[in-house]
Structure 1
Amino acid sequence: MMEQPLFGRRLKELRRAGGLSQAALAGEEISTGYLSRLESGARQPTERVITYLAKKLGVDSSAFQTPSGGTSLAQALSIASSANDDEATEKLVQALEVAGDEDLLPRWQALWLVAQHWRRLGRKEEELACLNELAVLADELGLPELRCRAWSSLARCLRGSGRVSESITVADRAVKLAKEAKLTVPDIGNALMSLVSAEAEEGRLPDARAHVDELVELVDKHEGPLKAEALWSAATVRFRQGEHGAALELIERATEGLEGSADLTLWLRLRLAAASLSLQSDPPRTELAGARLKEAEAAIEFVGTTVLRQELTTLRAHLAFAEQRYADSRTLLDQLGQDELRLTYRDRIRLGVLEGRLMIQEGRPKDGLRKLKELGEESRRAFNIDLSAEIWRILAEELENGMKT
């Protein structure tokens, strides 16, 4: 027989795995109070009680002698944090489902790892649900560092899901908390980046510019990933303010200033971002975009998630269109259509815009123009003013080109 408190932990684990309350497991033979003391390790079980509990749980008595196989939250967390692979994290997800809420800090750590897992896979709904719970739990714990990190991550996810106004509210809370609590530069910086990206998305460019200038000054003496991401944020704001040259200089500084050994995933994402801004320039800088995409392709085999692969394919489709290789662009677009898209809201809308423009080039102007109008309306209803303005501009250009022909 397993000694306490290990017996109690295993009993609680088996009960929760079976979806039973303490009252349901206790039944008429033992009291819930006695069962609670067994689970806490305060009472040693008798052979008769072990036999009774095993029968109620549908397991052999030897199950109480078997240490957890990774279903307990603490063990699953230890395995997932040290293994750093999807299989271990999936087991952590399962452990979270049956774990209680008495161990708040381990649960917070587990939710943090699981949220990152969902983000890598591009599963926005699961990530959002996880981050919402993470934010609530951080508030219960009351630790400013955890609250700030939870809110910053939640704000990023909300923006990526198209819920920009909510993102601004949450990010603003994170920034204020980080400053009031005098948190570290990385915490303040990440909160500011969440706020800047959301403000820029909603078209609040003066606010975004003020905050991103503050961000760049804050991290000026820092090197590595934090500074690279700050410069990336600054480039995005400058670009949306129409300063395309300055934006490209900033993204190039970020790209060239970060070594792959520091963060290969960010190294890859920066090249995708540089290609994206190059293609959105007027006129598109296709040569620079092509060079950055080739660099990204070289790294995709090492850190390529489904999301990053889809982003790369999307940009290759945009590049083909800009170079008037319409058949190639269509092939790449159809390739993306074979899988569930894991892209951000903005990238999915821009992919739809590409679809509409291809329809026009393929001799289906009515269908293409209708699609562009629908996407413009959808962006407006989502209060994504910057994206909506971009779509209406493209629509106007397509209408003007149609009149010329």
Structure 2
Amino acid sequence: MPLETSFGVRLKALRQKHGLSQAALAGEEISTGYLSRLESGARQPTERVIGYLAQRLGVDRSAFFAPHSSGSLSEAVSVAASTDGDDGAEALAAELAASRNEDPLLRWQALWLIARFRHRRGERAEERAALEEATRIADGLELPALQCRSRTELARCLRSAGQVPEALELAVSAHQVAKESGLAVSDTGKALLTLVSVEAEAGRLPDARAHVDELVAMVADRSDALRAEALWSAATVRSRQGDDDEARDFLRQAMDSLDSRVDPVLWARLRLAAASLYIHARPALTEEARRCLAEAEKALSLVGTPLQQQELLTLQARLAFEDGRLADARTALDRLETDGLTLSYRDRVRLRTLESLLLVEEGHREQGLAQLKKLGEEAHRDANLDLAAEIWRILAEALEKPERTA
């Protein structure tokens, strides 16, 4: 690694370890822009700057050039794993990038923590890169638990990005490893959860239903987040098979099974899922959806991530459309575009579908219908067969609806 690059990585890691912003470290002697270029490796430090930064950080100048050891990475892993929130994650990523020939188990743990951090931030490409490397390390170690976990999370990441064939291959492999190795229910159940979601996305609903029924039976005696997610998954599969009553029953069981104090984020997400189910019912159950969204909004105002806030706003836009409040729906769509989307592939497509329907209602019928047709073709091409079928149904309903007159 070049001197300026290794110096920058160590500088950033030391700054974040001390909890300093770039402005706080720069002080009055150097600019934050110059400090940023040092950290990125775009500039090489002078001796005076090295001495100044060492003094500001309270370290010997050799700290910027000391060879990386497993101890330094181990320390960064410990800090990141024991800190609430993401305070230590960036420092861990910088430390890992500068480390070479580390203990593979330690590198796997670092990558696992970094992948979770990237997921919460909605940084899908970075999350995928971390999980791919974690999967390679797990395979090299031949440790079934790590192989299962890495594959499960990578499959989930790929499914969220709309890469269903690749996700399906990994999900099948993760489930196979879990069963053949006799892994704990926590690992086997999570592998099944991911497999079910990918099979449903691929339109393999009979397989998804068989696997989700296996999962629900497996966790029947539990009262934790895994059981709630299993029931939620069962509701999703039933809904996509057209069994709306049974889907709503499973989702009610999921919501009733989880105390908000145990996992407030999952508690809110279950209500988003229920609202989505009510909104997409025919006819739409708007009052039930409104109640669930109000509960979710209250919880997410305290614990929600930017991604979950976008999911909430997407459903609020859809509810406004179902209510006939077209101006409110348009305002929500415009706000989502301004915020920068980090939604999953399915949610992004559903958002574009809503935009198409809104165009039709606003008098731009041909444009809206053409956009729906394009979305259906793209989903089919990407092997998202269940989503494609949903879009074709919406397009058919839009075509049957009489054109609005001025």
Query: What TM-score, normalized to structure 2?
Result: 0.84
> Aligned to 2:402, what secondary structure does the other structure show?
helix
User: Residue type of the partner of 1:83?
Assistant: T
Name the counterpart of 2:37.
Answer: none
Summarize deviations over 1:87-122 as a string: whole Å, max 9, x none: 311111111111113211111111111111111111
Instruction: Map residues 78-117 of structure 1 onto 2, 5 A cutoff.
Output: 78-117=78-117
Summarize deviations over 1:147-187 as a string: whole Å, max 9, x none: 10111001101100001111111010011110111000010
Name the counterpart of 1:263.
Answer: 263
How far apart in 2 are the matches of 1:399 and 1:200?
27
Aligned residues: 360
Contact between 2:74 and 2:106, CA under 8 Å: does it hold in 1? yes
Contact between 1:199 and 1:208, CA under 8 Å: does it hold in 2? yes
Q: Which moved more, 1:169-178 or 1:82-91?
A: 82-91
User: Residue type of the partner of 1:376?
Assistant: G
Name the counterpart of 1:152.
Answer: 152
In our comparison, the structure showing a higher alpha carbon Rg is 1
> Quick check: 1:189 aligned with 2:189?
yes
How far apart in 2 are the matches of 1:223 and 1:185?
13
Contact between 1:271 and 1:293, CA under 8 Å: does it hold in 2? yes
> Aligned to 1:87, what secondary structure does the other structure show?
coil
Q: Identity rate of aligned residues, in percent?
A: 49
Name the counterpart of 1:17.
Answer: 6
Structure 2: unaligned runs, 5 residues or longer: 10-45, 55-59
Contact between 1:272 and 1:312, CA under 8 Å: does it hold in 2? yes
Name the counterpart of 2:15.
Answer: none
Name the counterpart of 1:239.
Answer: 239
Q: Tell me how far 1:63 sits from its aligned partner.
A: 2.8
- CA gap of 1:219–1:333, structure 2 versus 1, over 3 A, is same
Name the counterpart of 2:383.
Answer: 383
How far apart in 1 are the matches of 2:174 and 2:113?
20
Contact between 2:276 and 2:315, CA under 8 Å: does it hold in 1? yes
> Aligned to 2:87, what secondary structure does the other structure show?
helix
Summarize deviations over 1:180-224 as a string: whole Å, max 9, x none: 110000100000011000000010001101111111111111111
How far apart in 2 are the matches of 1:65 and 1:314?
48
- CA gap of 1:200–1:66, structure 2 versus 1, over 3 A, is closer
Contact between 1:196 and 1:211, CA under 8 Å: does it hold in 2? yes
How far apart in 2 are the matches of 1:99 and 1:65?
14
- Cα-Cα RMSD: 2.6
Summarize deviations over 1:290-323 as a string: whole Å, max 9, x none: 1010001111122111100000000000111111
- CA gap of 1:100–1:360, structure 2 versus 1, over 3 A, is same
Name the counterpart of 1:52.
Answer: none
User: Residue type of the partner of 2:291?
Assistant: A
Name the counterpart of 2:294.
Answer: 294
Instruction: Map residues 105-184 of structure 1 onto 2, 5 A cutoff.
Output: 105-184=105-184
Contact between 2:363 and 2:404, CA under 8 Å: does it hold in 1? no
How far apart in 2 are the matches of 1:387 and 1:65?
53
Instruction: Map residues 57-76 of structure 1 onto 2, 5 A cutoff.
Output: 62-64=60-62, 72-76=72-76
Contact between 2:164 and 2:201, CA under 8 Å: does it hold in 1? yes
> Aligned to 1:72, what secondary structure does the other structure show?
helix
Name the counterpart of 2:362.
Answer: 362
Contact between 1:148 and 1:174, CA under 8 Å: does it hold in 2? yes
User: Residue type of the partner of 1:307?
Assistant: L
Structure 1: unaligned runs, 5 residues or longer: 1-11, 21-54
Query: What TM-score, normalized to structure 1?
Result: 0.84
> Aligned to 2:392, what secondary structure does the other structure show?
helix
Name the counterpart of 2:202.
Answer: 202
How far apart in 2 are the matches of 1:330 and 1:254?
32
